[in-house]
Structure 1
């Protein structure tokens, strides 16, 4: 089970909680999971290799941990191919702000490295874990695909697939799943994911399905049956247990280990003790929310690091380590100088909590409105095109 010392925080693919108002201790998580903290030297190398500025999510430590990214960069510099893989579990019709993070960063990676991307819609997982029908899980996958397409992915380089559809249409994908299943024991999955004897057998077999897209042989229409093309997976850190299992299985299958880039969590509006959740409306800002909804939610629910009175705040200043509005700005405001000035003004007491929330409201309203405009342009035909197995365009 993916927990940290003395149960002071819990990080699994299904639940994230922390005892401190500062949220998850990511240094502890790195130590527990055995990943590697991203240092400035790696960020500088990514910028140097791509010839493009590093993304602000990298610069600010929101993309904070990795596995074997140096090997991906080594291969890229030598002209060797790799591909990107990320995913989405369609548990609700409306995605929220927290879901933006891995997709925004994945879009950046696709742009700067000019590589193909596969996006797995785990509608089978949501059917197994949630109280929904097969048909509803598949419908939500299609709806969520529209939001993903609206992030601006290149159709010629991006394949989005539903597990329910793709497993049945491509024998190679199922063969890869079987190979993974055969080399992972029930005891291993119980130890990694905390499954127990009351869990349905579908849950025990699902990790192999999430592992399979890490390997190029799962996509013969894209890679022509090659099994040695490296994979880079940008994802939130709670998904790492799946890929620790995958990386352990890879050498025994004769496949390269996937590399990973981990992001932190966007906190719930009420504070960083848990992440934003699609199933809890008061914790989340949805991509379908109106400008008024966004204003009201931030004003009402966003946890403040400010003091109890204006006089005290002017004297002591605010605490950005726990203030949700400031933390959100680090995710969504690209201007480094402006973010730093806000931090200085808030911690000194020159900026009040109301002013900080007003700044965030303006930023988030713009992000959501622009996304809604792009999504309105996504048709069912476009979804079908993105989700049709086909050859993708890439230079190697």
Structure 2
């Protein structure tokens, strides 16, 4: 059966590897060895796929500018599933990236009918305080914001709307004649969220990574297409030469590109009506042709921005697995029994753990004989995703479970205590974060 990724629906992916073939998502395993100190989500294959993360990694390793951006729709309580995105934003900020976190109040208002007042309340109390408590820092070109209050985003959404049409957006998201216009506009706002870290006000074009669940891939694909359409040139390698192809570039811009390319000394420059070729490449010692192509790409992007264009780089993305709900299926804000909120009473949270579905067998005797199935256990997932930093400990627990030496009751008691301790500490950090809100330009 074909997998459908719906940003506003209930998506449960049985086989993540199918997404590589069906949606063109690349396996993160291919790029993992290049990371010196990967996040535990990366090491543990919780982050399973990516689009063009190579560009972000290259910038990270070379010290060049890059950014991370993601957001939260304030329709309910923030839970451990949302915390995954928060941790990924914070990790990339710690690696030197600019960090952007959006409260998608325009989307919540248009799609879910949440009032503006409730959007603000949920946004601050559920998401922003937890994000700060987990380690998001107030740095230059790092921002937490509400969509409706960010006019850079709103103005860019209007510009992006010129490049999109009703038929295309309807085909991507399954919109019908009953879909309200504001819902469609919220799609453009999300594309603007993703691209606005590349505006000149925020340091100009740079690689940007969007950490999301696989259900958000339609937003990523549309935004990558829109970034491409906003460009005026396309830099391509064609065998042993490089071609700079005009995409609705003015004659003035073509002339400027020709002059700039001649000044690089990278090869023979010949201009045609709608493209410019660089042949007989003169590569510097040790330089590869793909590195020369990247140099030309960066030159052309600077040229575009100097002439009032955007010069957007298509955004990268990383995809994480969904957390399993405590009652089975996807952890969802619409099912309180399926999740533990970051603001939940620690004792009540511990009680939910004690009632959760596990990967154990039907009886104690069967468990001892056949062993458990930690890969199907919501309790083990809490350890894997959030509550254990020690990979060796997880391997030992996995082995004990599969061998039948470890019983579900012991695991539940252990995880219940850990989650109670985590929530006690996190909620104290949230109160400290409340005092720091003005540092992030947010007032209660």
**Same fold? TM cut 0.5:** yes
Shift of 1:139: 2.5
Aligned-partner Cα distance in 1 for 2:62–2:44: 29
Cα distance 1:16–1:30, how it changes in 2: closer, same or farther (>3 A)? Answer: farther
Aligned length: 359
Alignment deviations for residues 195-236 of structure 1 (CA, whole Å, 9 cap, x no partner): 11111111112111111133246655432xx3x222111222
Aligned-partner Cα distance in 2 for 1:259–1:279: 29
SS of corresponding position for 2:420:
helix
Gap regions ≥5 residues in structure 2: 232-311
Alignment deviations for residues 66-104 of structure 1 (CA, whole Å, 9 cap, x no partner): 011112222344443111111111112x31111111111
SS of corresponding position for 1:260:
strand
Cα distance 1:349–1:195, how it changes in 2: closer, same or farther (>3 A)? Answer: same
Shift of 1:261: 1.1
**1:335 corresponds to 2:390:** yes
Alignment deviations for residues 34-90 of structure 1 (CA, whole Å, 9 cap, x no partner): 110111x5222121xxxxx21111011101110111122223444431111111111
Correspondence for 2:189: 209
Correspondence for 2:270: none
Correspondence for 1:394: none
Alignment of 1:132-171 (within 5 A): 132-143=114-125, 144-157=127-140, 158-167=142-151
Contact 2:197 2:208 in 1 (8 A): no
Which one of the candidate residues 9, 12, 15 is aligned to 1:15? Answer: 9
Correspondence for 1:283: 338
Correspondence for 1:257: 314
Alignment deviations for residues 230-288 of structure 1 (CA, whole Å, 9 cap, x no partner): 211122222111010000111110211001111111111112x3x21223211110112
Deviates more, 1:210-219 or 1:131-140: 210-219
**1:31 corresponds to 2:21:** yes
Correspondence for 1:391: none
**1:232 corresponds to 2:209:** yes
SS of corresponding position for 1:313:
helix
Taking structure 2 as the reference length, the TM-score comes to: 0.77
Taking structure 1 as the reference length, the TM-score comes to: 0.86
Gap regions ≥5 residues in structure 1: 48-52, 389-396
**1:186 corresponds to 2:163:** no
Correspondence for 1:69: 53
Correspondence for 1:115: 97
Correspondence for 1:44: 33
**1:269 corresponds to 2:326:** yes
Which structure's CA Rg is the greater one?
A: 2
Aligned-partner Cα distance in 2 for 1:218–1:229: 6
Higher RCO structure (Cα 8 Å, ≥6 apart): 1
Contact 1:232 1:260 in 2 (8 A): yes
**1:371 corresponds to 2:426:** yes
Contact 1:120 1:162 in 2 (8 A): yes
Aligned-partner Cα distance in 1 for 2:365–2:162: 65
Contact 1:142 1:383 in 2 (8 A): no
Deviates more, 1:336-345 or 1:145-154: 145-154
Correspondence for 2:268: none
Which one of the candidate residues 294, 302, 309 is aligned to 2:363? Answer: 309
Shift of 1:351: 0.6
Contact 1:306 1:318 in 2 (8 A): yes
